Amino acid sequence: MSDLCRVLMIGHLSRDLQRRRRDDGVIYGVSTLCAARTLLVAGHPVVATTRLTLEVVGAARVASVAQQFGAGSRVLVEGHLELREATGIERLPLADGTGEVLVRVPRRELVLVVATIFNADPPLPTAEAQRQPAQVWWDEAA
Give the H or E element holding residue 62: helix 59-68
**Residue 132 located in a structural domain:** no
Query: Would you write out the chain's pLDDT as a tens digit for each of its 142 residues?
Result: 456 778 898 889 988 989 988 888 888 888 888 888 888 888 888 888 888 889 998 888 888 888 888 888 899 999 999 988 888 888 888 888 888 888 888 888 888 999 888 888 776 666 655 555 555 444 545 4
Do residues 77 and 119 lie in contact, with contact meaning Cβ atoms separated by under 8 Å?
no
**Phi/psi-derived region of residue 42, left when phi > 0, alpha when psi is between -120 and 50, beta in every other case:** left
Residue 131: inside a domain: no
Structural domain including 52 reads: 7-39+46-121
Q: Has residue 128 been placed in a domain? A: no
- Picking from 50, 49, 18, 12, the residue whose alpha carbon sits closest to that of residue 31 is 18
CATH of the domain at 61: 2.40.50.140
Instruction: Give domain status of residue 129, yes or no.
Output: no
Contact 19, 62 (CB under 8 A): yes
Look up residue 70 and give its DSSP letter: -
Alpha-carbon span 111 to 79, nearest angstrom: 10
Number of domains in the chain: 1
pTM of the model: 0.67
130 part of a folded domain: no
What's the CA gap between 44 and 4, in Å, rounded? 37
Question: Would you say residue 142 lies in a domain?
Answer: no
